[in-house]
A = this chain, B = another copy of it.
Amino acid sequence: MTMSTPLTGVIPPVCTPLTPDREVDVPSLISLVDHLVAGGVHGLFVLGSSSEAAYLTDRQRRLVVETVVAHVGGRLPVLAGAIDMTTPRVLDHVAAVIGAGADGVVVTAPFYTPTHPVEIARHYRLIAERSPVPVVAYDLPVSVHTKLDPDLVLDLAAEGVLAGLKDSSGDQAGFRAVVAGARTRHDITDFSVLTGSELVVDSALAMGADGAVPGLANVDPAGYVRLYDLCRAGDWERARAEQDRLFALFGMVGVGAADGHMGGSSSALGAFKAALRLRGVIACGATAEPQVALSEDEVERVGKYLASAGLL
């Protein structure tokens, strides 16, 4: 499909189900896509952080995109992350995911290597030049260790370099600056501003954001779609109640990290996958190496979060 911009709605970053020996579990991935489509989501984002893109080999990345694109069959736009350290390496991934059928690519600033704003701008310009599909910037300081400057994002939007922003920075003021700029600058059209937060989707949409890319939407896609629809309808009271329910559900991400025997990332990804297994969507909750696995007791606590949210 050709992606119509701007992207709007709920676009989950699709988890990558793995087999116990850490290969992509294709049937489970297809089942997860069905679960998301049935939940009413408006697009899919594969090879993002919730997809464990950082842990997947090039071969596995390609398999994920091919599988999802083939199964979706054009019903929804499929964005794919092209996550790597610098421009030349990202360009290889861009070529790969487009070859596998992605409708758009999602790209961070350079990382690992210390960088500079001028280099970040050049990075996106070079990628857009060579990409036949829209490029969405991915602002994820917790991984990239630089924050995208709102004015830089807006300038690249005006140039036609960027088609959108996925903002997982947690910086609401910067997010608002992009939303406001995208609305008020006359040189910007069709630019999509998406929040990566699970927890302030109502606020983001109230500010004027176009949509959300919440990892927790893997677990409860219908909940996020409901939240989106309530916001669009201007029913802010019920939207807040739905967001508060999802906020409580998000507490699951802490089950493993609470006692310090693993980090927050392993805990969160493990919880999402445990929840998907408990809900019968995927076959196995394994996360990629070298992440620490949740214990049985921790998986049980994930189950309690699901039960409290009415999802079991």
Contacts and interface: CB of A to CB of B under 8 A. Distances in A.
Interface of A: 22, 49, 54-58, 60, 83, 85-89, 92, 110-116, 118-120, 122-123, 126, 142-145, 170-173, 176-177, 180, 197, 199-200, 202-203, 206-208, 234, 236-237, 240, 244, 247-248, 260-266, 288-292
Contacts of A86: 54-55, 288-290
A278 B51 CA distance: 47
Contacts of A177: 247
Contacts of A116: 262-263, 266, 292
A212 B170 CA distance: 19
Given A22-B88, A172-B199, A263-B119, A112 B111 contact: yes
Contacts of A142: 114
B55 A85 contact: yes
B200 A92 contact: no
Tally of this chain's copies: 4
B170 A56 contact: no
A118 B261 contact: yes
Given A88-B57, A260-B260, A115 B173 contact: no
Nearest to A86: B55
Nearest to A256: B116
A4 to B, nearest CB: 26
A281 B170 CA distance: 36
Contact of A55 (B22, B87, B247): B87
Contact of A112 (B112, B170, B208): B112
Given A203-B206, A244-B180, A57 B92 contact: yes
A111 B108 CA distance: 14
21 contacts: A22-B88, A54-B85, A54-B112, A55-B86, A55-B89, A58-B58, A58-B92, A83-B112, A86-B289, A110-B290, A114-B264, A115-B263, A115-B265, A116-B263, A119-B263, A122-B290, A122-B292, A123-B289, A170-B171, A177-B247, A207-B240
A158 B172 CA distance: 28
Nearest to A145: B145
B88 A55 contact: yes
A292 B118 contact: yes
